[in-house]
């Protein structure tokens, strides 16, 4: 399209060419998205067996996706690269405090993931490798005391797990083998610390029948 202007003679041909150039640039920017920030309501989410892909106008997104409520309060924000989750993922309480923070690499969870109570104290902490839970998982009561402690290997809970009452006393502890089967001792406790029940397993099968105790430590027949 040829643009024609009736400018006074004081404008030279070179000046008109420069004006034309900038007008074309403005028109180009107006027809194309300039920002790499995307509202969740303006994108497409494609889910299939290979995972989730985020699209804008049928093309994979690279940038930041955000979600706000009707009061324009930020609820979620996460990074995508070529349509896949890659980078930080965060969720927020209405108050603005951080609720959840985790990280992705090529669409899979990677590294440390944390969730928080609204007052900012840690609620849960996990670790991922290539999308699978690995290492220690810790879950806390709102008073800051440990609630659960588990071990994972390639997404399978293994080793020793310990659960606690909100007063800090052990509630339950048990062991699992590399396949996630009960293996070793299994113990339950009362909130006063007294042993409640005990048994023993090997390869998922019980080898020592359960023994139950009352709160005074006497065996229940």
The three-class DSSP label of residue 15 is helix
Per the domain annotation, does 153 fall within a domain? yes
3-state helix, strand, coil in the chain (%, to 5): 10, 55, 35
The verdict on residue 158 lying in a domain is yes
For residue 30, the model assigns a pLDDT of 41
pLDDT digits (tens, 9 = 90+) for 39-72: 999 999 999 887 899 999 999 999 999 999 999 9
Does residue 65 form part of some domain?
no
Query: CATH number, domain at 210?
Result: 2.20.110
Judge whether residue 34 has pLDDT over 70.
no
Q: What is the pTM of this model?
A: 0.78
CA 62 to chain centre: 19
Please determine, for residue 117, whether its predicted confidence score (pLDDT) is greater than 80. Answer: yes
Residues recorded for the chain: 221
Average pLDDT, integer, range 170-193: 95
Residue 194 in any domain: the answer is yes
Q: Which domain holds residue 219?
A: 134-221
Instruction: Average the pLDDT over 92-111 and give the result.
Output: 97
Asked whether the predicted pLDDT for residue 3 surpasses 60, the reply is no
How many folded domains does the chain comprise?
1
CA torsion sign, 31 to 32 to 35 to 38?
A: positive
Residue 2 has pLDDT above 50, yes or no: no
């Amino acid at each position: 399209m040829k643009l024609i202007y009736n400018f006074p003679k004081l404008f030279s041909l070179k000046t008109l060419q420069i004006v034309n150039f900038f007008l074309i640039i403005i028109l180009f920017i107006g027809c194309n998205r300039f920002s790499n920030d995307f509202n969740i309501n303006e994108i497409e989410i494609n889910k299939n067996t290979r995972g989730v892909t985020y699209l804008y106008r049928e093309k994979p997104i690279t940038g930041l996706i955000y979600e706000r409520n009707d009061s324009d309060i930020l609820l979620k924000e996460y990074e995508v690269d070529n349509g896949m989750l890659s980078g930080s993922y965060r969720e927020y309480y209405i108050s603005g405090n951080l609720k959840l923070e985790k990280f992705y690499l090529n669409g899979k969870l990677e590294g440390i993931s944390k969730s928080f109570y609204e007052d900012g104290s840690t609620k849960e902490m996990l670790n991922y490798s290539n999308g699978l839970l690995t290492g220690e998982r810790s879950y806390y009561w709102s008073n800051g005391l440990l609630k659960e402690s588990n071990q994972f290997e390639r997404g399978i809970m293994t080793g020793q797990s310990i659960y606690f009452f909100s007063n800090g006393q052990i509630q339950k502890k048990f062991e699992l083998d590399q396949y996630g089967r009960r293996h070793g001792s299994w113990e339950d406790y009362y909130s006063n610390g007294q042993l409640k029940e005990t048994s023993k397993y090997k390869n998922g099968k019980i080898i020592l029948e359960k023994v139950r105790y009352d709160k005074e430590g006497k065996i229940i027949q």
